Amino acid sequence: MSAGHDAPEQSAGEHEPQRPARGGGVLAAVRETVLVVAVALVVSLVVKTFLLQAFYIPSQSMERTLDIGDRVVVSKLTPGPFALHRGDVVVFADPGGWLAATPEPQRSPLGAVAADVLTFVGLLPEDSDDHLIKRVIGLPGDHVVCCDAQGRTTVNDVAVDERAYLYPGAEPSLDEFDVTVPAGRLWVMGDNRAESADSRYNRQKEYDGFVPLDHVVGRAYAVVWPLPHAAWLGTPGAFDDVPGRTGVG
């Protein structure tokens, strides 16, 4: 007897594995995709709410540091767990009347809803329609003056060399000012001083040109788009010799 016939014959398909119905496989894939997308949206919303947020730069007030169209990432942990320092670049809500009204972008109803949702969860950058981005020059309690005999800004009677971040050829200020920053406020200016409607030019409005700390969204710490302009936005050393408090949380 041939060894090939030792086992009893089996009917066709008797031990073949059962294949799941095609419809069930598609449904499982759809459920998995929906779950993954939902988790990604929740994680993105949590990150945006508590940690990081992207913003779009709409104006030239921070050139040469930030150009129109740049996307920056803002850390919401500063001020807070991490201190805010002189020289940091911050995003803050309009304290009242600093920004002119801007027209809404033209979108289809579906496109508007999609853009709002993606912006809400943090997958699209904020349009910055009601936010500004400037550099912190004075912390609470600081005495900020411009200009000294050499045309420089002084903070607590120490001249600040701002050439590292000012727009090429820009003066520290074409208009003189002498202010003491109140408790819980900041004095901010743009790097492109001639094109920046900052603390200097909002003295007659609410908060007298100062920015309340609770209006600060966070510190801008990196340019992430476009890639050729990607850069780290560190704290410059121009204020290292300024006496007084070094930061505010």
* pLDDT score at 125: 47
* pLDDT score at 42: 57
- Hey, what amino acid is at 211? V
Q: How confident is the model at residue 128 (pLDDT cuts 50, 70, 90)?
A: low
* pLDDT score at 123: 41
* pLDDT score at 32: 72
Quickly count: other Cβ atoms within 10 Å of residue 138's Cβ. 26
Which candidate, 54, 77, 217, 204, places its Cα nearest to that of 134? 217
Share of the chain above pLDDT 90, in %: 65
8-state DSSP, 48: H
pLDDT greater than 50 at residue 8: no
Phi and psi for 87 in degrees, rounded to 5? Answer: 95, -15
Quickly count: other Cβ atoms within 10 Å of residue 247's Cβ. 15
Enumerate the active-site residues. Answer: 61, 134
Establish how many alpha carbons lie within 13 A of residue 152's alpha carbon, considering only the half-sphere containing its beta carbon: 13
Domains of the chain: 26-100+108-229 (2.10.109.10)
| pLDDT (mean) for 203-232 | 96
pLDDT tens for each residue of 67-126: 999 999 999 999 999 999 999 999 999 999 998 755 455 555 654 454 455 454 444 445
Measured distance CA(223)–CA(79) in Å, rounded: 19
Q: How confident is the model at residue 28 (pLDDT cuts 50, 70, 90)?
A: confident
* pLDDT score at 196: 97
Quickly count: other Cβ atoms within 10 Å of residue 143's Cβ. 14
Strand 216-225 and strand 71-75: pairing?
antiparallel
Structure-token pair, residue 219: 């510190």
Between CA 137 and CA 74, with CA 67 as vertex, the angle to 5 degrees is 60
* pLDDT score at 151: 96
pLDDT tens for each residue of 153-211: 999 999 999 999 999 999 999 999 999 999 999 999 999 999 999 999 999 999 999 99
137 to each of 37, 44, 102, how far by Cα in Å?
42, 32, 27
Contact (CB, 8 A) for 85 and 221: no
Measured distance CA(28)–CA(37) in Å, rounded: 14
8-state DSSP, 61: T
Among 36-45, 113-122, 133-142, 172-181, the range scoring the smallest mean pLDDT is 113-122
What burial letters (b/e) apply to 41-70, b meaning 16+ CB within 10 Å? beebeeebeeebbbbbbbbbbbbebbeeeb
* pLDDT score at 7: 43
